[in-house]
Structure 1
Amino acid sequence: MSVGKTALRAYKTEIDPNPEQIVLIHKTIGTCRYVYNLFIQKNKERYEESEKFLSGYDFSKWLNNVHSKQEEFKWIKDVSSKAVKQSIMNADGAYKKFFKKLTAFPKFKKRSDYGNFYLIGSIRVKRHLIQLPTLGKVKLKEKGYIPFENVKSCTVSREGDRYFVSVLVEEDKLPKTETKKTEGVGIDMGIKEFLYTSNGESVANFSKSEQLIKLTKSLKRQQRKLSRREKGSANFRKQKVIIQRLHRKIRNIKMDLKRKLILKIVQRNPQFVTIEHLNIKGMQRNRRLSNSLQQIGIGYFIEWLRMKCLEREIELRRADRFYPSSQICSGCGERKKMPLHVRLYDCDHCGMKKDRDLNASINLKKAKEYTVLT
């Protein structure tokens, strides 16, 4: 039994703001969006005029001392300064990632029914409410979930007609019981089956579940109804809320299924987990695969798996992008071409016959060249 150190943990729960607080939440999200877009626009203009890049720190000084003092922009001061500051730093970070060729050029944020902002400062939590800077006391729908002490910061978010708060809390790590490591596992992800493990287990594509099929059909019907509503009318807004709730329900079900699947994998405490390096952006350019990939959400699965492996001290490996896991025979090591429509690996050398995804997962487990992610 080893004693751990402190760690930061996030707690997300729904809040029940009053009408005045809802107005302020909408206003803060809108202001943060305006400031973010203004930072991008300002630096775009400076680039076209061959001027030096304006950093987040310098932009913040200009915004506070010049821009927001103009009569028509004084409303910027009506919301939390910390939220505005964080929005500036987010835009600054997006530019820096672009300069390092890690991401594409920063995009302007559009007005929508979704958004969030960051708060730091005096945050107090009680069983039934949370006190936030600027917003004041806000009711919690889930009572007693958030710890009362060591709250560092929080993010308030809007998802359609519902509002949430995600609180970052510093906690002592739970004492870790040393358990025996089991054999490593390889995971092959695909479209027909969501994933295959080297243990022979397969998980069907989540979109094939009866519950999600029914919800998807209902969503299509509700979207057709929305198309017949007059844009901007009261009926249009009501129908939009119905669609947002269906989207949220579908997303939450998929998220829950993925998290339970990952928990099942890491609870076995394998020595390592090996995944393939998928070119998700490249695959999404294929019009036949893009919709299926979007429905599966492989990116979220990989990120959550990485977090849980880090938490449980399991080595997460990622095989080389060009490692031919589907083309190699897991029995004898011979290699042959495997078009995507061929679902059975039939080795001409040793006679082994296996599902192509199962064969690929076994090869991933055996992979010698990989990058350690955790």
Structure 2
Amino acid sequence: MLLSIKTQLKLNSYQRVLMSKHAGIARFTYNWGLATWQALYKDGYKPNHRLLRTFFNNNVKTNPDLGWLKEKNICQKVTEFAFEQLGDSYKRFFKGQSEYPKLKKKGKSSHSFTINASGKPIPIGGTSIKLPTIGWVKTYEGLPHVTASKLTISERAGNWYISFAFEQTPLPVANKIPVVGVDLGIKELATLSTGVVFSNPKTSKRFKKKLARQQRELARKVRGSNQYLKQKLKIAKTHKRVSDIRLDATHKATTTISKNHAKIVIETLNVSGMMANHKLAGSVADANFYELRRQLEYKSKKFGSEVILASRFYPSSKTCSSCGHIQDMPLKLRVFDCGLCGLSIHRDFNAAKNLAHLG
């Protein structure tokens, strides 16, 4: 089973500059490839990323004015993976999975690059990693002793992160609860048929005033000035804080669910449709529905569990979990009072129990 890890790097000032140089070369290469691809296509040619990469290595890198592309301590694999990324972008576009590739702008696009060791496995373990050409870098947390074929380094809100994939044998856990229903919600992140409830941190609501104040302060500063850039970094760090709290809650919930239950039944929600409702969009984003389902699906493989997806139209909230009677349940009603058997139960708990019945 292929798992991935992403963790923060502990860099000094020289290493930060070196990472920025690699990211800049990756961005320049991608933009050159995209512009050249468009020009060739207009002239009637059908380019591909491999031909562009060959021409770039033989003609562009040899240009004396672009000597910074081959500086000391710069891993030359950066440009190779930039062309692969461009090829993947066009593949997704032709399949209708994404929009047409766009130029990467400094300061607006994510800063990242990918490297490898010319096909050789890169050993990883502990709190230090030896990157090809770049040298030794430290991490804030210890990593498992594994090997990776390639490494991706990215920047976010002033911090640099390293991510990689590695093979791991699934770890089946004994003494699991046979079946659990998981009802996803806005007020509560998830309610289980066992009675366990995972609370929603509601980070967007908590940080809404702080972000609004920081945005007003940014609007008062001269665009492009040092104070403007400092304030922009503050806003990015606040957004990162919001995302980190949300992801932390999601990871804790999905790990607990997938590790302790053999069968996990969740509902299939129309997240894009819910996001289209401007009254619900903020709360739906806070609930992290798509990410929670994605994590459950890959963590269930890790712990030897099974995820069962209920139909989008299954009336889990409208059905009595005791007698099966179906009745209307407006969103404002938080308690399900069965009109047939008289059962009175919390709406989310009732839905979770119905989902468990499917398993």
TM-score range, shorter chain: 0.7 to 0.9
SS at match of 2:249: helix
Partner of 1:3: none
Distance in structure 2 (CA, Å) of the matches to 1:119 and 1:153: 6
Once the two structures are superposed, residues 42-61 of structure 1 have per-residue CA deviations (whole angstroms, 9 ceiling, x without a partner) of 55556666653x33223322
Once the two structures are superposed, the pairs formed by residues 253-264 of structure 1 within 5 Å of their partners are 253-264=245-256
How far residue 185 of structure 1 moved from its aligned partner, in angstroms, is 1.0
Asked whether the equivalents of residues 11 and 168 of structure 1 are also in contact (C-alpha less than 8 Å), the reply is no
Task: Tell which deviates more after alignment, 253-262 or 214-223.
Answer: 214-223
TM-score, with length taken from structure 2: 0.83
Distance in structure 2 (CA, Å) of the matches to 1:292 and 1:232: 33
Task: Tell which deviates more after alignment, 253-262 or 242-251.
Answer: 242-251
Out of 147, 151, 155, the residue aligned to residue 150 of structure 1 is 147
Distance in structure 1 (CA, Å) of the matches to 2:326 and 2:76: 60
Once the two structures are superposed, the pairs formed by residues 26-175 of structure 1 within 5 Å of their partners are 26-44=20-38, 51-52=45-46, 54-70=47-63, 75-78=68-71, 79-112=74-107, 114-121=110-117, 123=122, 129-138=128-137, 140-142=138-140, 145-147=142-144, 150-169=147-166, 173=169
How far residue 120 of structure 1 moved from its aligned partner, in angstroms, is 0.7
The letter for the 1-side match of 2:161 is F
Once the two structures are superposed, residues 262-309 of structure 1 have per-residue CA deviations (whole angstroms, 9 ceiling, x without a partner) of 2222332x2211111122222211111112222332222222222211
Distance in structure 2 (CA, Å) of the matches to 1:321 and 1:222: 40
Are the structure 2 counterparts of residues 344 and 146 from structure 1 closer, same or farther at C-alpha, using a change threshold of 3 Å?
A: closer
Partner of 1:284: 275
- For these two proteins, the number of residue pairs brought into alignment is 353
Distance in structure 2 (CA, Å) of the matches to 1:46 and 1:344: 63
Are the structure 2 counterparts of residues 127 and 309 from structure 1 closer, same or farther at C-alpha, using a change threshold of 3 Å?
A: closer
TM-score, with length taken from structure 1: 0.80
Distance in structure 1 (CA, Å) of the matches to 2:256 and 2:176: 15
Partner of 1:12: 7
Distance in structure 2 (CA, Å) of the matches to 1:192 and 1:49: 56
Percent identity between the two aligned chains: 30
Asked whether the equivalents of residues 2 and 165 of structure 2 are also in contact (C-alpha less than 8 Å), the reply is no
Out of 217, 228, 237, the residue aligned to residue 245 of structure 1 is 237
Partner of 1:309: 300
The letter for the 1-side match of 2:78 is A
Out of 154, 174, 179, the residue aligned to residue 179 of structure 1 is 174
Distance in structure 2 (CA, Å) of the matches to 1:346 and 1:137: 63
The letter for the 2-side match of 1:358 is F
Task: Tell which deviates more after alignment, 229-238 or 95-104.
Answer: 95-104
Are the structure 2 counterparts of residues 214 and 39 from structure 1 closer, same or farther at C-alpha, using a change threshold of 3 Å?
A: same
The letter for the 1-side match of 2:134 is L
Once the two structures are superposed, residues 344-364 of structure 1 have per-residue CA deviations (whole angstroms, 9 ceiling, x without a partner) of 333333333333322322222
* Structure 1: runs of 5 or more not aligned: 1-5, 369-374
Asked whether the equivalents of residues 147 and 169 of structure 1 are also in contact (C-alpha less than 8 Å), the reply is no
Asked whether the equivalents of residues 188 and 360 of structure 1 are also in contact (C-alpha less than 8 Å), the reply is yes
How far residue 130 of structure 1 moved from its aligned partner, in angstroms, is 3.0
